[in-house]
Structures are given as C-alpha cells and as structure tokens.
Amino acid sequence: MDIHQLEKSTVRKVTLRLIPFLFLCFTISILDRVNIGFAALRMNEDLNFSDAVYGFGAGIFFIGYFLLEVPGSAMMSRIGARRWISRIMISWGIIAIVMAFIQTPLQFYIVRFLLGVAEASFYPCMVHYLSGFFQQKHHAKAIAGFMIAIPAANAIGSPLSTFLLQLDWLGLAGWQWMFILEAIPAVILGIICYFYLTDRIEDAKWLTQDEKKWLLDVTTREDLEKQKVKKYTFAQVFRDRDVLILSLGYFFWMFGYYGINMFLPTISRGLTETTGLSLQNMGWVLGLMYLCAMVVMYLIGKSSDKSNERKFHVAGCLTVSAVAMILSVFTAEFSTVGAFILLTISLCGAFGAYSPFWAIPPSFITGAAAGGAIALINSIGNLGGFFGPYFVGFINDLTGSHNLGMIILGISMIVSACIVVLLVKQSGKNKSIKADAHLQETG
C-alpha cells in the first residue's frame, strides 16, 4: 500500500471510529445543557419563576463550568481522556435527572451550578483528544464532524422537548419527564465510553500496525514543527497573548450566542402567538432552523480546511449572525416569517464559526499545553454563557420585551468578530502549510 492509500485508509478508519461516537456523546451533552430553554415554557409558570430567576439559573451553569474547566483538563492529561470523559458523562447524567425535582429558585441555582461542575472540561477534552488522532489539515473538518452535534441536538431536541412537555405521567409534569428521559442516555453512553475509546494511537486495536505507524509519524512531525516555533508548557499557555485574546473573543461570542439560545423557545412562542402555531409545531419549526445551521456548520468547516484559513471564516460568520439577529427585532413588527428567517440566518452564522475557531489553538500549541489552552479559552468564553442569559432575563423583566436585549447581544457578537480579526495573530494557515510541506519532503 503506497503512502497516499495508507493515509486515506487511516483517516477513514479514525473518522468512522471516533466522530460518530463523539458526535452522539456531544449531542446528549448539548441536549442536557439547553433543554432548560424548553422547560421554561412550563416550568417557570409551575414554579412561579420570573425571567430574571430563569436567566440567572440558566446561566449559573457556566460558573460551575468555569471553575472546574482548567482543573478538569489537567486531570484528563493525568488519567486519560477515556476515563475522564466517562466520569463526566455519568455524573452529569445523574445531576440532570435531579433537575426534574427542583421546587425553589435556590434549588434551581444549586442543581444548575452542579451540572456545570459535572460537565466541565468535557468539550476541551474531546477537542484535544481528536487533535491527537488527526493531522492539522483535517482538524477543522474533524471538529465540525462532532460539533455538528450542537445544532443537531437542538434540531432533534426541539420537537422532542415540546412533545415531552405535554406528558403527564405518575404525577410528574412534562418538563420533569423531559429532564429525566433526556438525561438517561448520558449515563449509558458514559459507561460505553470507558470501553470504546482508546487514549493513545498505540492502543488502537482497530488500526493495523502500518496505519498506527503512519499516524504516529505524521502527528509527531507536526508536533515538532509547532515546537520549533515555540514550545509551550501547560502553565505558559495561560500567559500567551493569542490564547488570552481568543478567550476574550469567545466570551463576547458566547454572551450573544447563549443569550439568544436560552431564550429562543420563549422568543419563538411570543412570535407565534399571533399565528396560532401549536407548541408541537413550534418545536418542528425550531428543529428546521437548527437543521439549516447544522448544514452550514459542516460547509464552513470544509471551506476553512480547504483554504487553510481560520479567523476570517470566524469573523464573517459572527458578523452575519449579529446583523441578522438585530434585523430580526425590527422585522418581527411586520413579518413573523421574516423574523424566523433572520433568526435562522443568525443561528447559521453563530454555529458556522465554531469549527474554524477551534482549529486555531491546535495550530500553534501542542501536547498537554493544547488541552490547557482549549480549556482556558472555553472556560473564560463560557462565562459569557452566564452573563448573556442573565442579562436578557433582567432586561426582559425591566422592559417587558426581548428587543433591546437582542440588539445588545448582536453588538456583542460584532465585538467578538473584531477581536478575532484585529487582535489574533495566529490563524493556522502559515503553520499548517509549513507542516504539510515538511511532511511531503520527509514522508
């Protein structure tokens, strides 16, 4: 088998082995994270929660996430991704079930905080894990392969959650059954994960010896190329200019993204009241919106890999998302359909930025330090996931409308786009091209 056939065979095997399983795990993660938005349609009324109480509870998840994100990534480096991802999934599944039995705002805050603690470092662990099995030139597409789970979870979860909201079994309300039934798969997959994943290429029995050797050679060479530019330690990434700026850009992005995402079911219900659209049909509409975002996310990741360009793909997507979000506020006054189309475009832009953004850190940082960098960016950035929903809830209670909140969320995403373009030096382009050239000369 020549080198090109060996590469094709190995990449195909790695992709088929890892991407579908991690996609499924991440889908359940996102579903358990954002189903709170659908629960709010009935839970807030049953428990007498205001928008401000709901926004604070929805967002406090990210405080727990922030506190344990970097320590969790360090722990993953010590004990291996397989064990750590398994622990994360089992613990968050159990806590997500407990959400069904909250009765007071304090209980709501505590359980959501603990859910963030349990899930902390899950995403950076998976990104770092994939970076060890894929060449740099395949990073964005590989990341997009499992990150499609974000819009996919919403596409599947929207009609599913609205259906479960209508259940009334054994004295439990529909929103309680939604939390229970959507959390059980996390526990099951967490157990499977322990036996399915392999921590190192050398342990991958599903690859032949030639495939293992080829994959080890190319990933090691790429690591050496990055280390020639600068060799990072785990501690040094916390002082790196680009890592800190990426963290700031991600914060403003997540401020806008989660601000709209956590309240989208509520916003949509308000838009559809004039049309008489049923709760279940609203779920299908939202599912279709997220399905469009899933397709765009894949196409953007593919385009970013093909051109070996990252940051302008990110900034372009975020700008489109922000403009569409702001325009939807004014369009809603005369066209519900037009508002939904613009919200769909906004979702497509917000999701499209994910894969090129997360291909940037592995382009200039390697080893355990890459896991630390990803964890730091994700933890600081996801603080925006606390402030965004809380801010929207506060503004809603103050003004009685979502309009002002959505405009500010859009501005926040434009700020993120400017930070990525104007301040971030690393794009992945030069280094990946250099690494590819070196591999062609030596391989």
pLDDT at 140: 64
Write out pLDDT tens, residues 258-297.
Answer: 777 766 777 676 666 666 667 777 778 888 888 888 888 8
Residue-wise burial string across 383-395, b where 16 or more C-beta atoms lie within 10 A, e elsewhere: bbbbbbbbbbbbb
Tokens representing residue 434 in the block: 């250099």
204 lies in a domain? no
| Residues 6+ away with beta carbon under 8 Å from 40 | 49, 54, 58, 265, 266
Residues 127, 85 contacting (CB under 8 angstroms): no
Tokens representing residue 225 in the block: 């190329």
68 lies in a domain? yes
Residues 227, 369 contacting (CB under 8 angstroms): no
Find the DSSP H helices in 332-402: 336-352, 354-358, 367-382, 384-399
**Token pair 């407990």 in the structure block, residue:** 98
261 lies in a domain? yes
225 lies in a domain? no
Residues 13, 211 contacting (CB under 8 angstroms): yes
Residues 27, 153 contacting (CB under 8 angstroms): yes
pLDDT at 439: 34
CATH number of the domain bearing residue 403? 1.20.1250.20
80 lies in a domain? yes
Give the 3-state secondary structure percentages of the chain, helix then strand then coil, rounded to 5.
85, 0, 15
CA quadruple 341, 402, 293, 189: dihedral, nearest 10: -150
pLDDT lower than 50: segments of the chain:
428-443
Backbone angles phi, psi at 169, to 5 degrees: -120, 145
In terms of Cα–Cα distance, which of 288, 284, 256 is closest to 409? 256
pLDDT at 443: 40
Tally the C-alpha atoms within 13 A of residue 160's C-alpha that lie toward its C-beta.
17
CA–CA separation, 289 vs 324, rounded Å? 14
In terms of Cα–Cα distance, which of 46, 119, 68, 64 is closest to 89? 119
4 lies in a domain? no
208 lies in a domain? no
215 lies in a domain? no
Structural domain of residue 379, as residue ranges?
19-197+231-432
Number of separate domains in the chain: 1
pLDDT at 263: 67
Query: Between 149-164 and 336-352, two packed helices, what is the crossing angle to 10 degrees?
Result: 140
